[in-house]
Amino acid sequence: MLSGGMPTPAALATDRVNRLRERLAADDLDAAVLARPENVRYVSGFAGSAGLAVVTGDRAVLVVDFRYAEQAAAQAPAFERVQATGPLVEAAAEVLRRLGARRAGVEAEFLPIGTFRKLAAAAAPVAVEPVEGLDRIRWIKAPEEIEAIRRAQRVAEAAFQDVLPGIRPGAVEREVAVALEERLRRRGARASSFEIIVASGPRAALPHGVASERVIGPGECVTIDFGAVVDGYFSDCTRTLVTAPVSDRHREVYAVVRAAQEAALAGLRPGLTGREADALARDVIARAGYGEAFGHSLGHGIGLAVHEGPTLSPREEAVLAPGAVVTVEPGVYLPGWGGVRIEDMVVLTQDGCENLTALPKDLIEVSA
């Protein structure tokens, strides 16, 4: 343990590798080859962009090339390291054979088919099989992960407050996004979580309307979706402003979206399926007459990736568990007029959820 009770990197890796081993045993596999960078980082601590993790019942090996040899040694002390002199998949295949693996699983949702075929051919006689849902080992966040996400959110909130005075009629969407990204980095973010969304007027009806050259006008919704990457963990937040003059329709739509989010936050708890969680907000919006205007899921998991499981979706039957961190982001989008989205991040607790987002949600009215 580190001072203050924090687990050491080696202890974290051991715990997470054991979680992966439990999953392998459930699928009658005796090895896994992880290629997705978030999964490799999760189990090993290695944060480089090129590396494969090979895990068996009693061994854990990180395969990297010359560029990352020193970084791997520093970040993944609990893993054996192999420095590949050729393709990483060939080196990983050799590790599988050397460790006597029988059946190895790979990430079905991530590994390109060409890479899968090369690995399977190089690993023979080891059987390499695509396995769905290996990312699930990351769904439940440890306390130190939750704190990292909280730090990322605080950086994002501070940056948003920095640029808020400049979001006025006459401002250009792209310039607002550039200013926000600059403040994110100055506040300590390694990067923005994604391409920042600044969508005003009719463009606010685009759920993913990344910033354009459009000039923000009066009497418009301005939806801003942003986040920060801090210590490898992502945050995600959306706020919708309205430029003066604010109409009754602006207030009505905003009130519906806020009521939907409040209902979801009040009802969200472990034991619900993602579908049931989604319905907490969707039903409020539908009763208000805007059901067809809410076309995306209520939320998604977040951690080492900005979008991961579990999802709060009409199609998600997975059961939510304590420790999952998810977004709660209902929206109403009206083509030709605009849209409203409000997004917070929460962590599931034993009997409800804790909001990790501190930004106020009162309707922000701005004028020139």
What does the domain layout of the chain look like in residue ranges?
3-138, 143-366
Q: What is the pLDDT of residue 3?
A: 40
Q: Enter the DSSP assignment of 45.
A: -
Give the position of tokens 């519906």.
256
Q: Among residues 275, 263, 274, which one has the least CA distance to residue 330?
A: 263
Give dist(CA 6, CA 107) in Å, integer. Answer: 30
Which residues have CB under 8 Å from 130's CB, separation 6+? 105, 106, 107, 108, 111, 116
Query: What is the SS3 assignment for 90?
Result: helix
Q: What is the pLDDT of residue 304?
A: 98
Q: What is the pLDDT of residue 1?
A: 40
| Ramachandran angles phi, psi of 341, nearest 5° | -135, 140
Q: Around 198, how many Cα atoms within 13 Å sit in the side-chain half-sphere?
A: 24
Q: What is the pLDDT of residue 13?
A: 77
Q: What is the pLDDT of residue 7?
A: 67
Helix (H), strand (E), coil (C) string for 232-251: CEECCEEEEEEECCCCHHHH
Please, what is the angle between helix 248-267 and helix 274-287, to 10°? 150
Q: Among residues 264, 271, 274, which one has the least CA distance to residue 345?
A: 264
Beta-bridge mates of residue 105: 32, 129
Residues of the chain with pLDDT under 50: 1-4
Give dist(CA 135, CA 42) in Å, integer. Answer: 10
Which residues have CB under 8 Å from 320's CB, separation 6+? 268, 269, 270, 271, 272, 273, 274, 277, 310, 326, 348
Query: What is the SS3 assignment for 131?
Result: strand
pTM of this prediction exceeds 0.85? yes
CA 118 vs CA 5, 56, 72, 366: distances in Å: 44, 20, 24, 57
First-to-final CA distance of the chain: 54
Query: What is the SS3 assignment for 224?
Result: strand
The H or E element containing residue 81 is strand 80-83
Query: What is the SS3 assignment for 260?
Result: helix
* Topology match between the domains 3-138 and 143-366: no
Spatial strand order in the sheet of 308-312: 308-312, 299-301, 325-328, 344-348, 353-355
Q: What is the pLDDT of residue 4?
A: 45
Q: What is the pLDDT of residue 9?
A: 65
The H or E element containing residue 252 is helix 248-267
* CATH 3.40.350.10, applies to 3-138: yes
Peptide bond into 310 cis (omega under 30): yes
Q: For 96-150, write each residue's pLDDT tens digit.
A: 999 999 999 999 999 999 999 999 999 999 999 999 999 999 999 999 999 999 9
The H or E element containing residue 104 is strand 103-107
In this structure, the strands spanning 80-83 and 60-64 are: parallel
Give dist(CA 72, CA 62) in Å, integer. Answer: 8
Looking at domain 143-366, its CATH class is alpha beta
Q: For 166-198, write each residue's pLDDT tens digit.
A: 999 999 999 999 999 999 999 999 999 999 999
